[in-house]
Structure 1
């Protein structure tokens, strides 16, 4: 939510929202800030004697107010700071701007007690801990509300972290992995084979290769293999919110987004109630995906949805990892419709999975130049997990490109088609059916395929 939302009055001391004046008064709920405070202690606070965690309710966090870029703060090991926490609360275009200053601390003094602490180098640092009022706000929330905001805060760490510059920003780093060193693909097509043969080789490779999910740099769950078991191992943004719960949580948002898109697809317009619903739905989807956006206006939401349902690769509508997610969600209803193109989320994780595997297969086949192969399938900058990955070929940059968004969605639709239709000699399905979140199995959808690729690209 941004303070340019109509009728939103800025009153830092009494409002349930926090405003970031260096991010054009972008606003978040104070509950999200308190959840992020707890997440920051869990993820980034120094361990105490015996390997335990500091008590987030009472321990101090360095403030580290700074005008340095976010990547510089990370390189200087300033993850555990109020400044970095606040940078991750605002949209990507403001993340290189200082967010904590005397005015911010004064405006929200009701939440903090300011003091100092001595770091491991003996340096005294200005610090903050939560006030009694802040803890009262947190404790007054239901457990369900606390869980929701904790998930939103976790998503800020796990999601694509975008900034204006090209400097890498790594909050959640698993370590570099070279695709092809863990398992070799079952087969490599001939050098001159058509693109679809390489897509099929990629699908077989993912089916064959073991997969281990990670969380907080630790293995989460058992190692699995197969498209079906990989999807069942999906979680976001933490293991407790697994495949079924994630679907159940998002289904209402999917329903609203698809009803809105269907109306546009019919050439009809939204009334005021639906216009309000469109903006609210976009806000909530960005919250869930951990990709806060500025300019969430009715015009921008409508133009993205219209471009998505029409597969308009020349659209001037907004596009980045967050808007790509909205495009995918609102076109989910197009799955199975002949001649229609449900969008896929093309973020750094999905792109890393697809491109790293295709890159290895093509290079192993002896391809040295992409030429016209996989036209417009472009990379998306992302750091974290095992990203960025090393490529042998010169893949184009697909960041903020609707052409890449549409072409990548076509490729992922091809994957779903192959998973659903390829058969063995005896007529049985070659690949396992897609597990359904509510139980049973069914046809693979773009949503299911991108869930597997999302995890594979971590």
Structure 2
């Protein structure tokens, strides 16, 4: 059974995901973290934009929960209304409840016995998977039709380690690659404290190798090993579809079904639900990557960017193989904040033609948005920015794999793999390190 959102063009999600989100919302935003089974949540069903609901401290509400379940283009629309209630009687029962936002009783909801029985019938593995998908909705870039910040509660963290001076400052005359290498050196020496909900997770680490091992998504219990295990089957299916296109073959009916289902699961894994997930749109994104078409009109935002990065990592190796990462708010914050500092320290006052198309993707949470001295452009929903970031990361990967120290030994440890082995660094590995660094 699916949860249906009539005000999002009947967008649907698995009811297990909604129940998991209900549990996550109680843990994150309620005073009684363990009351999710019998607890009541205010509706706060309002037509105001999402950022206004958050500013009014309505995070703990069925309305805000529902808006984060639907694609970004519907998040400024009211989702909880009589039609929503009529379509989802097996999951929600509507009641009166109290709220901190106002005095007296307000309309609210609780889970039905049927919903609780369904949740209890799931295996623990299934429950954990849905809980991860629900948590990802909070941790991912919260995109809306508005450019106003949407801050749930995870913002205002000071940048830990910002007082660590870079080991290398290129001269103002140095080319862009010199600054990229300096950025890699800086990340390698800069201690990194993993953070979650504004709190430190574990001990600080340093070095690219240990930073990658400290990666988690969307919560600390889902570390690098668990993340890799979950992503692997998605990457495999993306690879099957990419291989057909690279061989010049047409997708069969089954391939088209596979494309839609895989893309939807990728978006759910990343916490970035999308609309218009058709095989045509999925194929257009894949062809854009394969053909290195920076002028493409294919879908592009943080969600499609994540899919594009998976496509690039599954292309058959060739001299023209694309290098891409998901250029989201975290990765852009990591790269640009460090490049900005390096360039300014080198005495550069304006970007001019440096790092063309590299720009900022908006996002709020943790240390984002960060302050910059130079005037970096917007890179939101930009294919030119995606490919420019890919070229930048390609330079990083090459440096990580070929740089040697004064003794002629590798300067950087090899990239750790989830199974305990190591391998040369890839764009995917760099992406995960930058993602954590940009929190």
Q: Select 2:168's aligned residue among 187, 193, 197.
A: 187
Rounded to whole Å, the distance in 2 between the matches of 1:143 and 1:92 is 30
What corresponds to 1:430 in structure 2?
411
- 1:308 has 2:289 as partner: yes
Partner of 1:119: 99
Using the TM superposition, give the Cα deviation of residue 180 of structure 1 relative to its aligned residue in structure 2, in angstroms. 7.1
SS at 2:18's partner residue? helix
Aligned ranges 1:178-217 → 2 under 5 Å: 181-217=162-198
Does residue 37 in structure 1 map to residue 18 in structure 2? no
Query: Shift in Å at residue 249 of structure 1?
Result: 1.4
Q: CA deviation at 1:368?
A: 1.2
Deviation at 1:453, TM superposition (A): 0.2
Distance 1:217 1:58 in 2: 29
User: Structure 2 vs 1, CA of residues 185 and 236 (structure 1 numbering), >3 Å: closer, same or farther?
Assistant: same
1:377 is paired with a residue whose SS is: coil
1:71-82 superposed matches below 5 A: 71-82=51-62
SS of 1:269's equivalent in the other structure is coil
Q: 2:85 aligns with which of 96, 102, 105?
A: 105
Q: Give the alignment's TM-score, normalised by structure 2.
A: 0.97
Structure 2 residue 147 is the aligned partner of structure 1 residue 173 = no
Residue 186 to residue 395, structure 1, CA distance change in 2 (3 Å): same
Give distance in 2, aligned partners of 1:123 and 1:216.
31
Residues 20 and 39 of structure 1, relative CA distance in 2, 3 Å threshold: same
Once the two structures are TM-superposed, the CA of residue 342 in structure 1 deviates from its matched residue by 2.6
Matched, 1:145 2:150: no
1:216 deviation in Å?
A: 2.4
1:178–1:390 contact (8 Å) kept in structure 2: no
Deviation (angstroms), 1:124: 2.3
Name 1:91's counterpart in structure 2: 71
CA distance in 2, matches of 1:190, 1:411: 19
In 2: Cα distance, 1:174 partner to 1:115 partner: 32
Q: Does the aligned pair in 1 maintain the 2:243–2:315 contact within 8 Å?
A: no
Range with greater deviation from structure 2 (425-434 or 411-420): 425-434
Q: Which residue of 2 aligns with 1:374?
A: 355
Aligned residues: 438
Distance 1:237 1:335 in 2: 29
Equivalence for 2:401: 420
Give how far 1:123 is off. 3.3
**Structure 1 length as normaliser, TM-score?**
0.93
On the 8 A contact 1:157/1:172 being kept in 2, the answer is no
Q: CA RMSD in A?
A: 1.5
Q: Which residue of 2 aligns with 1:245?
A: 226
The SS at the match of 1:114 is: strand
Deviation at 1:376, TM superposition (A): 0.2
Question: Is residue 286 of structure 1 aligned with residue 267 of structure 2?
Answer: yes
1:311, 1:439 → 2: CA distance? 33
Give distance in 2, aligned partners of 1:140 and 1:54. 19
Cα pair 1:309 1:342 within 8 Å, conserved: no
**Rounded Cα–Cα distance in structure 1 between residues aligned with 2:410 and 2:342:** 24
SS in 2 for 1:273: helix
CA distance in 2 between partners of 1:164 and 1:17 (Å):
25
Cα distance in 2 for residues equivalent to 1:37 and 1:438: 34
SS at match of 1:126: strand
- Does the 8 Å CA contact 2:172/2:348 hold for their aligned counterparts? yes
Moved more, 88-97 or 248-257: 248-257
CA deviation digits over 1:192-215, x for unaligned, max 9? 211111111111110011111112
Moved more, 308-317 or 283-292: 308-317
User: Do structure 1's residue 164 and structure 2's residue 164 form an aligned pair?
Assistant: no
**1:299–1:335 Cα change, 3 Å:** closer
Partner of 1:21: 6
Q: CA deviation at 1:107?
A: 2.7
What's the counterpart of residue 401 of structure 1? Answer: 382
The counterpart of 2:342, out of the listed 346, 351, 361, is 361
Equivalent residue of 1:135, what SS?
helix
Unmatched tracts of structure 1, length 5 or more: 1-15
Q: Is residue 194–residue 201 contact of structure 2 (8 Å, CA) maintained in 1?
A: yes
Go from structure 1 to structure 2 and tell me whether the alpha carbon gap of 1:357 and 1:261 turns closer, same or farther (over 3 Å shift).
same
**Aligned-residue offset at 1:181:** 3.3
1:352-375 CA-to-partner distances (Å, cap 9, x unmatched) read 100111011111211111000000
* Preserved contact between residue 161 and residue 191 of structure 2 (Cα < 8 Å): no
